[in-house]
């Protein structure tokens, strides 16, 4: 079972949005720490109200690029959202990344309706950045 499957199952058990927000914050605490050197302009995600960094690593397997990501944020709930987005995309081929819509997951979890417009824009910016990295990896 993947982290995404765990989150979906756990969200079904949590009726209260306060509990769901606490759960997302807890996810962020489990995020692998991003080295201080990776908190740089190149990794910074534009369009987020909070500070967000995403570090991308590309490996080639059978000529298909596979991308892994590490990320961080200076805001607790956003760190949890970073964790969710990275769990959805990290370790996938560039084509899988381009074919995966994070919006589907966020709607399934009910997050689309419960995130502020600023946070929704930040998530969209993160996803756009990841997809841009996937397109660049395919073009390389």
Give the domain range for residue 60: 3-139
Nearest CA among 68, 72, 91 for reference residue 31:
72
Catalytic residue among 27, 31, 48, 94: 48
Question: What CATH number is attached to the domain comprising 111?
Answer: 3.90.1010.10
One pLDDT digit (tens) per residue for the chain, 140 residues: 799 999 999 999 998 999 999 999 999 999 988 999 999 999 999 988 899 999 999 998 777 999 999 999 999 999 999 999 999 999 999 999 999 999 999 999 999 999 999 999 999 999 999 999 999 999 98
83 is catalytic: no
Work out how many domains the chain is built from and give that number: 1
The predicted structure's pLDDT at residue 63:
78
The predicted structure's pLDDT at residue 61:
76
The predicted structure's pLDDT at residue 5:
94
44 secondary structure, DSSP code:
B
């Amino acid at each position: 079972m993947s982290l995404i499957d765990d989150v979906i199952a756990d969200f079904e058990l949590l009726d209260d949005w306060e509990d769901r927000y606490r759960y997302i914050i807890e996810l962020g605490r489990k995020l692998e720490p991003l080295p201080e050197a990776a908190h740089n302009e190149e990794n910074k995600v534009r369009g987020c109200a909070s500070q967000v960094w995403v570090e991308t690593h590309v490996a080639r397997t059978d000529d298909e690029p596979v991308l892994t990501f590490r990320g961080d944020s200076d805001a607790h709930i956003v760190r949890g959202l970073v964790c969710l987005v990275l769990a959805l995309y990290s370790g996938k081929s560039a084509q899988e990344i381009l074919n995966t819509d994070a919006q589907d997951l966020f709607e399934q979890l009910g997050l689309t309706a419960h995130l502020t417009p600023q946070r929704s824009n930040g998530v969209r910016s993160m996803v756009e950045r990841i997809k841009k990295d996937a397109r660049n990896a395919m073009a390389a």
